[in-house]
């Protein structure tokens, strides 16, 4: 039995999230169907973590155990051939030690949130960005975001359905950049609360459009009250971009 690390990208628009759900299309469920067809036996695919309905990925990681003798190159080709009409791509396959786990071996996760800030609706980027017409100040949002870096109780940005045992998380990176009409929020931490990234972006958007002063974000964080923060940003603008592990993780 060999264990293989899978690096994936997918368009989450038509999926009810990563995690398999009875009667609903999911990324994990689709991959398990594809691997089961390829290997001609029921096969489980273990992901690094869940993404919600409509969320995309450019660097999701999963692992799969395969008893038959296949090389990473053979797995990559066979799986992508079966995915050719499906918005999921297997980017890389590596054999890893048996104690590697896509979820529990993770050292950090990185997300990117994309806002298209212009008056004209997106066509090429439809379902892949949050379209915001009102002009946004990147400077005001960046100033407000500084208080979110580090170790805090993020209850104010935590979804009521969050199952995490603690609201305390440590943000290692939070940057906001602008590329023409695109505003990119880049955030990294070991782990996140449910909807934490989208709730932070929804809050900062209100600072960017002038509804709130930057100092209010620090007050919201200290309140530990979800009702004080802004709305949850739409799922379509969120991308899981990178899952990091302690090297080496390849056999």
What amino acid positions are annotated as catalytic residues?
52
What are the C-alpha distances in Å from 23 to residues 14, 116, 131, 199?
14, 33, 31, 28
Pinpoint the alpha helices (H) of the chain. 27-39, 72-82, 138-145, 196-208, 215-223
Q: Quote the CA–CA distance of 102 and 111 in Å, as a whole number.
A: 17
Bridge-based pairing of strands 46-47 and 130-132 is: unpaired
Strand partners, 239: 56, 112
In the DSSP assignment, the letter for residue 24 is B
Q: Quote the CA–CA distance of 224 and 217 in Å, as a whole number.
A: 11
Neighbours of 24 (CB within 10 A): 12
Element (H, E) at 72: helix 72-82
């Amino acid at each position: 039995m060999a264990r293989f690390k899978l690096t994936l990208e997918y368009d989450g628009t038509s999926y009810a999230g990563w995690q398999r759900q009875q009667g609903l299309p999911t990324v994990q469920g689709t991959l398990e169907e594809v691997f089961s067809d390829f290997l001609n036996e029921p096969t489980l695919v273990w992901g690094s973590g869940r993404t919600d309905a409509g969320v995309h990925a450019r660097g999701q990681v999963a692992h799969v155990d395969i008893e038959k003798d296949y090389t990473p190159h053979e797995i990559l080709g066979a799986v992508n051939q079966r995915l050719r009409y499906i918005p999921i791509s297997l980017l890389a396959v590596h054999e890893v030690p048996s104690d590697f786990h896509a979820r529990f071996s993770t050292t950090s996760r990185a997300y990117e949130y994309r806002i298209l800030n212009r008056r004209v609706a997106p066509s090429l980027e439809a379902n892949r960005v949050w379209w915001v017409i009102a002009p946004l100040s990147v400077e005001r949002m960046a100033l407000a975001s500084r208080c979110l870096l580090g170790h805090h109780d993020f209850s104010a940005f935590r979804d009521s359905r969050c199952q995490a045992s603690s609201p305390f998380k440590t943000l290692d990176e939070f940057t906001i950049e602008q590329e023409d009409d695109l505003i990119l929020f880049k955030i990294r931490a070991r782990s996140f609360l449910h909807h934490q990234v989208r709730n932070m972006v929804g809050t900062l958007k209100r600072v960017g459009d002038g509804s709130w002063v930057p100092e209010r974000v620090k007050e919201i964080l200290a309140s530990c009250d979800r009702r004080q923060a802004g709305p949850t940003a739409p799922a379509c603008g969120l991308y899981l971009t990178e899952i990091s592990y302690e090297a080496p993780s390849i056999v």
